[in-house]
Amino acid sequence: MKPKQTTPSTSTLPPKPRNLFPVWLAALLALLWLIVHDLEISFEALAYGLADMGEYFSRYRKPDFSELSRYLDLMKITLATALWGTVFALVVAVILAPLAARNLAPHPLAYRAAREILNFMRAMPDLLLALIFVAALGLGPLPGALALGVHTAGFLGKFFAESLERVGKGVYEGVTSTGANFPQIVMYAGWPSIQREALGYLLYIMDRNVRMASVLGLVGAGGIGLALHDTLRMFNYGQSAALILIILGSILIIDYASAWLRRRLS
């Protein structure tokens, strides 16, 4: 065996690899300008409009909290809608995610099917789903919870599946080698290995669902959004302002709570 002789050349560097970043940046800026031009977006109108907007927002100056207890009840309904939607998403995701993880799926067909179902659920906007469910089930929080559940099950299932795919091959092999079957491998090697990540994703989805549940009321899916919809339609700015503040406050609280919980977990 002859060791290969290499003479290190210290005098010249190899040619510098070409950096295309400036070209891409220029292309992006050109595209943006073209879009503004094409859609005839006028920044002048925006400047004039600012004054009008200021006048419109000033109508919300005096929030009217006279019906506070009713509003808080509505907020509770909205939170319950979000919670039920999240639980529904969790149940569906826990069932589908192991099938949608390439390294776990018992059969390639099961993998494809689970993936496509998750993709489909994710692709359906929850606002659209809420409209459909409201039409089918009538006004109220149930269609809202279902809409949130279906849409976020798609997300949660994908997140879980990707986490399950990242678990080391050896961990699955260790449990497989004892003669465990598919559900046992999932329960004893899969979920325990990703429990922290999974809880983090779940909190994120809960957080998102609270925000979305308030909006879903606007299409008739109950809760505080429906009340906001009504007061806005009646030009009742004071009450609208109060409702918006309550929504904002709740979202802030949920946001901090879930951030705190996630910090505790890691």
In the complex, which residues of this chain contact other proteins (CB under 8 A)?
Answer: 1, 168, 170-171, 173-184, 187-189, 192-193, 195
CB of 258: closest distance to other proteins in angstroms?
22
Q: How many residues does the chain have?
A: 266
Are the CB atoms for 233 and 223 separated by under 8 Å? no
Closer residue to other proteins in complex, CB, 1/39: 1
166-204 exposure pattern, b = at least 16 Cβ within 10 A, e = fewer: ebeeeebeebeeeebebeebbebbbbebbeebbebbbbb
CB of 112: closest distance to other proteins in angstroms?
19
CB of 176: closest distance to other proteins in angstroms?
7
Q: In terms of Cα–Cα distance, which of 12, 18, 162, 145 is closest to 100?
A: 162
Contacts of 69 (CB under 8 A, 6+ apart): none
SS3 content of the chain, % helix, strand, coil (to 5): 75, 0, 25
Closer residue to other proteins in complex, CB, 90/210: 90
CB of 110: closest distance to other proteins in angstroms?
16
Closer residue to other proteins in complex, CB, 8/170: 170
Closer residue to other proteins in complex, CB, 198/215: 198
Closer residue to other proteins in complex, CB, 192/249: 192
CB of 179: closest distance to other proteins in angstroms?
3
What amino acid is encoded at 247 in this protein?
A: I
Contacts of 130 (CB under 8 A, 6+ apart): 143, 144, 147, 216, 219, 220, 221
CB of 157: closest distance to other proteins in angstroms?
18
Closer residue to other proteins in complex, CB, 183/249: 183
